[in-house]
Structures are given as C-alpha cells and as structure tokens.
C-alpha cells in the first residue's frame, strides 16, 4: 500500500496538468492575465454551488419561484449561495469573452493552435448557453420575458426557424415544459459537454507546448512548482475572496413571479444578448438574427485558416502597425456605430420612405449596406495610410465587429429606458 507511485498519485496527477518546467516568459501575469485559469476556476465554483442549489430548487411552474424565495429567506446562507452562483456565472461570460479576445490579439490561434481556437469558440458557445438556460430557472418576470424574447428571435431563422423555436420551448409559449428542459440542459447536458470540451481544450494547450510567448528565441525555463503554482494559488484565492465579498454585498436580482399576461416595460434580454436586441431595433430580424450572426460566426471560425497570413505568433497585435490599426478601428467603430444608432433612431426612416419595397430590403439590406460601405472605405484607407498588411486588415475587421457589438450592448442595456426609447 505504501508504494510511492500510488501514495501521491492524485497530487501528482493535478500537477501533471502542467508540464514540469515552463518558459519564464509564459508565466508573467500580463502574458495571459490568467483568464483561462480563472474561467476554469469559475466553472468549478459554479459546479459546487450549483450542486448545492439543486437540493432546494424545484423545476416546476408552481414551485420554482417559491423555492427560490424559500432559499433566500429561510435557508441558512441561502441568499449568499444563490448570489455566488449568479455572479460566478456572469463573471464566467465576461472572463471567457476576454480570454477569446486575449488569444486573438496575442496572435495565439494560428498553426498548431488552430484546432484549439475552434474548441475555444465551442466552449464560449456552451458558456453562453449555460448562462442563458440558467437565466429562466428563477421563473420571475425578468427570466420569463428574457427567454420569451430570445426564443422568439429563433423563429426568424428562415425555413427551420419556427420549428426550432417550438422545439426549444416545447410549445408555442414559454411554459412549464420549457422550464423542465432548460433545467436539464443547465444542470445535466451542458456541464457534461463542457467537462469533455474543456479536457480537450487543456490537452491541446499542452500539445501546442503551452501558451505563446513574445520572444520564442529566449528559452529560460523555470520549475512549474513553485513558480507557476504559487501564482495560480494567489490568483485563485484572491478571486474567491473577492467573489464572496461581492456576493455578500450585492444580491442577485429577483423580480415578481412570472406573469405571461404582462410584459414589464422595458423587457430586455440578458445583457450579453443586448447587442442583438439593439441590432434588432435597427434591422429586419432576418438580418439581425440570421444573416449577420452566421456571417460573423463563419468569419471567426475561418480566421486561422486564412491563406497567406504572416502571423508573428505571440506578439501582441502582430506588429506596431497592428497596434495602431486596432486603436483606429476601435475609434472608427465607436463613432460610426453610435452615429448609425442615433441616425436610424431619429432620421432615417427607410420603411416609411420606400413603402412599396419589401421590408427585408428597406429594413434589412439597406442598413446592412450603409454599414458595410463606409467600413470597406475605412479598410482601404488604413491599407493605404497605415500600410496595413493582410493580418492587420484581419485584426481591424475583428476589432470593428467586437467594438460595434460592445457599443450596441452598452446602448441597449444602459441607455434605453421605458418603451426602449433612447435616453428615456
């Protein structure tokens, strides 16, 4: 029994998630900001708090809301438990998003890391799906209407849309059946899928010989334990501490019990979907829900497979030019997106000006082209003025997409009030 091989097997296995020695550049905090590790830690915290919540929660139309208020009011530390789960979930969306941005801008998605970029996108999708399915479970007004809006968005997908929306809801309306299947996705299928995809994700990081470094010619190696392990423990413990403190101070929202007869004014999707909801105010749903997201997803998947890219793997923004391009693209997207939002809100009324044309053109194609053309002009401009190469143009496009989505998210969730009017 006392054979050394089995005695410390578990500790050794955990340590073997890392290689025995790592490049000293790769464990600088500013290399990765620890985002991937933080995301993994949040997953574990969500798993633990979620398991505990399952003992109280009742996934039925009658019981759901009452079980949540029972949890908050009667159970010892119940409110804290729910707050922890809620804020971990929200933070996981933010951290995963930042992680995607980090690997893109530090040029860490090319060559042997291609496949991992795809798994990363898949995990990002699973994270959002997990958060969204969890959003319905409290069965309050916030949850009910956010999910009503989101599932109705699906029905605008051509041909399969209506069937898909009915399939997701299990009926024409959000009802008890929807609650039950969301519960099982949230607590069963999605976490299981995430454990698998995360294992593959970690394994592919190891196969690519760890995270990228800015200067791959320098190979000063240090011992993982303690150099890296200590840093990880410090980050993990501080994060847990901050999360507990935050959860003690700020309660997760809980509105009145869901009432299908009355939509609150305004009704909003979860904040990470507010960019979509904002887009929908300006664009025909056929474009806002289907064409634009499909194009963007296809583009993101395609990025590491673009031919003729000369990626400076591990170098932030690829080059000095890339850095300038990123800044200018962000400024362009902030200014132009804001102008478009204000413009279509108050001045451009294409639907009224061209009554005889189908709405798919007046509310879809026209705004789409009005956004694409100046962006194309801007790309030509940076190619000429800043001497941007193919890689810099790619960085510019991604920056414009990300910034535009952020601007729409901020406008949608913070600047819109009653009746979804601007500055109301």
Partner 1 sequence: MSFIEKITRRSFIKKAIITAISLELAYVFINLLKKGSEADVPANLYEAGDIELFEKGKIYPFSAQRFYLSRLQDGGFMAISTKCTHLGCTVQFKNKDNKFMCPCHASAFSVNGEVLAPPATRALDLFPITIVNDKILVDTNNPQRRDKHNKSQITYA
Binding of partner 1 by 292 (CB under 8 A)? no
Sole binder of partner 1 in the list 2, 11, 217, 265 (CB under 8 A): 265
Piece of the chain touching partner 1 by CB under 8 A; list 71-79, 88-96, 163-171, 312-320: 163-171
User: What is the SS3 assignment for the chain?
Assistant: CCCHHHHCHHHHHHHCCCCCEEEHHHHCHHHHCCHHHHHHHHHHHHHHHHHHHCCCCCCCCCHHHHHHHHHHHCCCCHHHHHHHHHHHHHHHHHHHHHHHHHHHHCCCCCHHHHHHHHHHHHHHHHHHHHHHHHHHCCCEHHHHHHHHHHHHHHCCCCCCHHHHHHHHHCCCCCCHHHHHHHHHHHHHHHHHHHHHHHHHHHHHHHHCCCCCCCCCCCCCEEEHHHHHHHHHHHHHHHHHHHHHHHHHHCCCCCCCECCCCCCCCCCCCCHHHHHHHHHHHHCCHHHHHHHHHHHHHHHHHHHHHCCCCCCCCCCCCCCHHHHHHHHHHHHHHHHHHHHHHHHHHHCCCHHHHCCCCCHHHHHHHHHHHHHHHHHHHHHHHHHHHCCCCHHHHHHHHHHHHHHHHHHHHHHHHHHECHHHCECC
Check binding of 263 to partner 1 (CB under 8 A).
Answer: yes
If binding is defined by CB under 8 A, does position 151 make contact with partner 1?
yes
Binder of partner 1 out of 167, 294, 295, 306 (CB under 8 A): 167
Q: Which of 24, 79, 166, 197 binds partner 1 (CB under 8 A)?
A: 166
Among 20, 188, 253, 264, binds partner 1 (CB under 8 A): 264
Stretch that binds partner 1, among 43-51, 94-102, 105-113, 261-269 (CB under 8 A): 261-269
Q: Which C-beta is closer to partner 1: that of 263 or that of 297?
A: 263
Minimum distance from residue 363 beta carbon to partner 1 (Å): 6
Binds partner 1 by CB under 8 A, chosen from 275, 285, 314, 367: 285
Residues 231-260 that bind partner 1 (CB under 8 A): 260
419 forms part of the interface with partner 1 (CB under 8 A)? yes
Q: Report in angstroms how near the CB of residue 367 gets to partner 1 at its nearest.
A: 11
Q: Which of 193, 351, 378, 386 binds partner 1 (CB under 8 A)?
A: 351
Q: How many residues bind partner 1 (CB under 8 A)?
A: 36
Binding test (CB under 8 A) with partner 1, winner from 171, 188, 226, 253: 171
Residues that bind partner 1 (CB under 8 A): 145, 148-149, 151-153, 166-173, 177, 181, 260-268, 277, 280-281, 284-285, 351, 359, 363, 419-421
């Amino acid at each position: 029994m006392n054979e050394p091989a089995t005695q410390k097997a578990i500790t050794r296995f955990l340590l073997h998630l890392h290689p025995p020695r790592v490049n000293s550049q790769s464990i600088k905090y500013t290399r990765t900001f620890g985002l991937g590790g933080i995301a993994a830690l949040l997953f574990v915290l969500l798993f633990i708090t979620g398991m505990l919540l399952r003992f109280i929660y009742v996934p039925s139309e009658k019981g759901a809301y009452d079980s949540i208020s029972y949890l908050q009011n009667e159970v010892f530390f119940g409110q804290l438990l729910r707050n922890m789960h809620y804020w971990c979930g929200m933070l996981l969306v933010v951290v995963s998003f930042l992680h995607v941005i980090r690997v893109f801008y530090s040029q860490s998605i090319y060559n042997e890391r291609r496949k991992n970029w795809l798994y990363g996108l898949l995990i990002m999708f699973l994270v959002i799906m997990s958060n969204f399915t969890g959003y319905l479970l409290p069965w309050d007004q916030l949850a009910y209407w956010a999910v009503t809006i989101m599932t109705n968005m699906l029905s605008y997908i051509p041909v399969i849309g209506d069937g898909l929306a009915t399939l997701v809801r299990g009926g024409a309306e959000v009802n008890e059946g929807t609650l039950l299947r969301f519960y099982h996705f949230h607590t069963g299928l999605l976490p299981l899928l995430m454990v698998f995809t995360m294992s593959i994700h970690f394994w592919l990081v190891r196969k690519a010989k760890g995270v990228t470094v800015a200067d791959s010619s320098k190979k000063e190696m240090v011992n993982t334990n303690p150099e890296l392990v200590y840093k990880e423990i410090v980050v993990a413990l501080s994060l847990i501490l901050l999360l507990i403190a935050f959860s003690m101070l700020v309660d997760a929202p809980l509105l009145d019990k869901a009432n299908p007869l009355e939509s609150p004014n305004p009704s909003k999707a979860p904040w990470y979907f507010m960019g979509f909801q904002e887009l929908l105010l300006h664009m025909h749903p056929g474009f806002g829900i289907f064409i634009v997201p499909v194009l963007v997803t296809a583009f993101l998947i395609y990025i590491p497979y673009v031919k003729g890219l000369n990626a400076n793997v591990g170098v932030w923004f690829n080059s000095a030019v890339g850095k300038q391009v990123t800044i200018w693209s962000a400024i362009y997207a902030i200014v132009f997106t804001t102008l478009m939002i204000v413009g279509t809100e108050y001045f451009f009324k294409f639907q009224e000006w061209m009554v005889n044309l189908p709405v798919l053109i007046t509310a879809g194609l026209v705004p789409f082209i009005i956004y694409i053309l100046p962006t194309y002009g801007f790309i030509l401009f940076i190619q000429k003025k800043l001497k941007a190469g193919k890689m810099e143009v790619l960085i510019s496009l991604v920056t414009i997409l990300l910034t535009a989505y952020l601007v729409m998210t901020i406008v949608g969730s913070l600047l819109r009030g009653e009746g979804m009017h601007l500055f109301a």
